[in-house]
Amino acid sequence: MKIIITGGCGFIGSNFIFYMRKLHPNYELLCVDKLTYAGNLETLAPVIDDPKLKFIHADIADRRTMYDLFKNEKPDIVVNFAAESHVDRSIESPAVFLETNVIGTQVLLDACRTYGIERFHQVSTDEVYGDLPLDRPDLFFTEQTPLHTSSPYSASKASADLLCMAYHRTYGLPVTISRCSNNYGPYQFPEKLIPLMIINALEDKPLPVYGDGLNVRDWLYVDDHCSAIDMILEKGKIGQVYNIGGHNEMRNIDIVRKIITILGKTEDLIVYVTDRKGHDRRYAIDPTFIKNELGWLPTTKFEEGIQKTVEWYLANRHWWQNIVNGEYRHYYERMYGNR
């Protein structure tokens, strides 16, 4: 089995490579990554010498390179993680989100159509469903919830999902899609809520909470996302969307307080800052379908996962210090300087 994993030098893609190496040591894995600001080849250091893993430095939107790759390698499966993934950056500069998330996906779909594939799996997000009100805790996103996007990021991911379904229906391409809730765990880029709060708290810097801090996200440990994708690849139905989540809704302010407690810091580090434009209020996945159809269940409870995550950032300072001392400093200044 030969699998192309795009975006394998990012947060979830790299965790997926580690996961697949352990579970399916005979699979050949081809990691295709453009190494944008969010991609870090150093992340793959523990597995990079494995003869069953190949790294290809390439842009998924580069049609010629992708076609050559598919022609030469003849992959059986493609799992598309590659994306611009940060909502705040999509509000600042939307164009690259369309380039990678929409055109890049379309190039991969065309390559699959031209050279043949057993499965194209699109890694999507619960953000394609828009948001839910805080005063209706009875509402959840199901696979039937209409797409209703808020940010340029979520609009680009929804567009990619629609293209995947169109290629399935029109050309019979064997596509599956998963829409997961917020992930956390090792190797997440420091721009995202959990690593940002861990790193800032460790350095006694302000913890910038957007708006009133009451927005709700549904958190899933990254390995549980990886196991769900692996299961969809093995047993998923072609043309099907699968929602992935573990019923772990939490308010942002409670996440920040939890990190403060684990690190033994105090709440005076918290600073309420100007809200994100168009900020989605609540995400909440109903995972009934994937549980009933495939038997998937998450295994890491939040208490355990957040503890492991904080410990990972404590033990791997070199990984994030390289990032926060580089270009990220300018991003941080732009994003938080006058907030």
**Binding stretches for ligand NAD (CB under 6 A):** 6-7, 9-13, 32-36, 38-39, 59-61, 81-85, 100, 104, 123, 125, 157, 180, 182-183, 189
The only residue of 125, 156, 159, 178 in contact with ligand DAU, by rule CB under 6 A: 125
The only residue of 132, 193, 232, 269 in contact with ligand DAU, by rule CB under 6 A: 193
> Does 215 engage in binding with ligand DAU (CB under 6 A)?
yes
Q: Are 82 and 75 in contact (CB under 8 A)?
A: no
Query: Which partner from the list ligand NAD, ligand DAU, none does 224 bind, CB cut-off 5 to 8 Å by kind?
Result: none
Residue with Cβ nearer ligand NAD (39 or 287): 39
State the minimum distance, in angstroms, from the CB of residue 297 to ligand DAU. 19
Count of beta carbons in the 10 Å neighbourhood of residue 216: 19
Catalytic residue among 33, 84, 127, 223: 127
State the minimum distance, in angstroms, from the CB of residue 204 to ligand NAD. 26
Residue with Cβ nearer ligand NAD (226 or 269): 226
CA 135 to chain centre: 27
Query: Which partner from the list ligand NAD, ligand DAU, none does 249 bind, CB cut-off 5 to 8 Å by kind?
Result: none
CA 193 to chain centre: 13
- The three-state secondary structure class of 322 is helix
Cα separation, 120 vs 5, whole angstroms: 10
Cα separation, 262 vs 313, whole angstroms: 12
Residue with Cβ nearer ligand DAU (63 or 251): 251
# chain residues binding ligand DAU, by CB under 6 A: 19
Active site residue 127: yes
Active site residue 153: yes
Active site residue 126: yes
Query: Which partner from the list ligand DAU, ligand NAD, none does 12 bind, CB cut-off 5 to 8 Å by kind?
Result: ligand NAD
Count of beta carbons in the 10 Å neighbourhood of residue 134: 12
In SS3 terms, 253-312 reads as HHHHHHHHHHHCCCHHHEEEECCCCCCCCECCECCHHHHHHHCCCCCCCHHHHHHHHHHH
Residue with Cβ nearer ligand NAD (269 or 310): 310
Which residue, among 94, 133, 86, 91, has the nearest Cα to 277 in the 3D structure? 91
User: Contacts for 45-51 with beta carbons within 8 Å, 24 or more apart?
Assistant: 46/18, 47/17, 47/18, 47/21, 50/21
Residue with Cβ nearer ligand DAU (128 or 231): 128
The beta strand positions in the chain, using DSSP E, are: 2-6, 28-33, 53-57, 77-80, 119-125, 175-180, 183-184, 207-210, 216-218, 220-221, 241-244, 249-251, 270-273
* Amino acid, res. 129: Y
> Does 87 engage in binding with ligand DAU (CB under 6 A)?
yes
Catalytic residue among 126, 131, 161, 224: 126
> Does 181 engage in binding with ligand DAU (CB under 6 A)?
yes
> Does 126 engage in binding with ligand DAU (CB under 6 A)?
yes
> Does 210 engage in binding with ligand DAU (CB under 6 A)?
yes
Q: Which stretch binds ligand DAU (CB under 6 A): 132-140, 209-217, 290-298, 315-323?
A: 209-217
Count of beta carbons in the 10 Å neighbourhood of residue 305: 24
Q: Which residues are catalytic?
A: 126-127, 153
Q: Which residues bind ligand DAU (CB under 6 A)?
A: 85-87, 125-127, 181-182, 192-193, 196, 208-210, 215, 217, 252, 276, 283
